[in-house]
Amino acid sequence: MGDILKDKVAVVTGSGGGIGKAIAISFADEGAKVVVNDIGGEKDGTGASALPADRVVQEIKDRGGIAVANYDSVTEAQGGENIIKTAVDNFGRIDILVNMAGIIRDRMIFNMTEEDWDSVIKVHLYGHFHTTKPACVLMRQQRSGRIINIVSISAFGNMGQANYGAAKAGILGFTRTVARDMGRYGVTCNAVIPTAPTRLGWSPEVKAAWEKRAAAGDMRAKYSLETLERIAPEDNAPIFIYLASDASSNVNGCLFYARGNWIALYGDPIRIKTIYTKERWTTKELMESMPESLAEGLVNPAPPQSPK
């Protein structure tokens, strides 16, 4: 047992399995008292069971740690409040919040239903808000706290994930804003893109598709397959422990990408090119200028294809 998080109280939503479970256990191993939250549903958000959260709590206790379970849903404001209240009722405070809960409902945009959109936005984007707000009320009063949100490379654009990508991009903006709202009170808010072959995004069907692409010569697919085969959920724990610790007090509003043996810090979006005119742009002037200025060298990431 370590002591980096000794006497800290942590809430980890969606920690009944996968990366969330690994984070909850690693926090407990470093001395934190942990609230293991999970509704025990399927990866599309349907169903519920107490077993996943209960099993993680028992595993933490078997390792000599301290933990309690919570089964509330992050999709409702009351659920978020109940999750944070579980920490206060059992351990007297809340020091760390990790918003890990998530679902996926992948569809191409032309097939996506309103329910597909709403369910993913509710769990991810609303879910982060529903736990972060009540946590911030308490963290502001005690003038300390660590919030860690979960983003994905889908925030940068990923086929078939308009709902998930939109939610994750929103969470990144949410993270940077909460960091500015809460920094003056000694509270930090950062985001992590974790990596591991978990049930949320790594089904047999997805793996088969990547293997097909790799066999066809797609080097990105080949590299991703090789990387995922050697990464475990536990490999993400160190960056989460660091961001949850007192040592990270100067790290606020940042995005990190953890991928096995490397961890990257992402910067804010930067302006690449700028074009000017004397007073204001006319459509004719811009149409003439764009091909040799801002649009020069740009490549369509999804160029038109012939009908199959």
Note whether 87 and 94 are within 8 A (CB).
yes
Single out the residue of 76, 72, 305, 101 nearest to residue 198, CA to CA: 101
- Residues 54, 60, 61, 66, CA torsion sign: negative
**Catalytic residue set:** 164
To which residue do tokens 């797609």 refer? 218
Give CA torsion, residues 50, 55, 57, 58, to 10 deg. Answer: 130
Single out the residue of 263, 126, 92, 297 nearest to residue 192, CA to CA: 263
Burial class (CB in 10 A: 0-12, 13-18, 19+), 21: buried
Return the ∠ at Cα 261 (arms to 258 and 262), rounded to 5°. Answer: 50
CB-based contacts of 187: which residues, under 8 Å, 6+ apart?
A: 136, 139, 140, 143, 144, 145, 146, 147
Q: How is residue 7 written in tokens?
A: 């006497």
Return the ∠ at Cα 151 (arms to 83 and 63), rounded to 5°. Answer: 50
State the distance between the two ends of the chain, measured CA to CA, in whole angstroms: 58
How many alpha carbons lie under 13 Å from residue 152 in its C-beta half-sphere?
A: 23
